[in-house]
Amino acid sequence: MNEPTQRPALPDRLSTDARSVHHVAAVFEHDIGIRLNGKERSDVEEYCISEGWVKVAAGKTLDRKGRPLLIVLKGKVEAYYC
């Protein structure tokens, strides 16, 4: 039958940017959920559980290289597979 695929452990720090050293492609093969202070966030670009922050895009603002400008939000971070 269909066996569920083994999910890799979620790292302490993860980034959606493929150029980052904190990008783990195997994790993105599955749906990931992020909670910040108990609230679901769907706009997280990068997170760090041990330091307690997430980076999210600041509206439609872009930096000089054309990437979204990110702001840091601090609090209790929880990452999980959906």
Per-residue pLDDT tens digits for 37-64: 999 999 999 999 999 999 999 999 999 9
Q: What is the pTM of this model?
A: 0.85
pLDDT(3) > 80: no
Q: DSSP of 3-64, one letter per residue?
A: PPPPPPPPPSEEES-TTSTT--TTGGGS-EEEEETTEEES-EEEEETTTTEEEEEEEEEE-T
pLDDT(79) > 60: yes
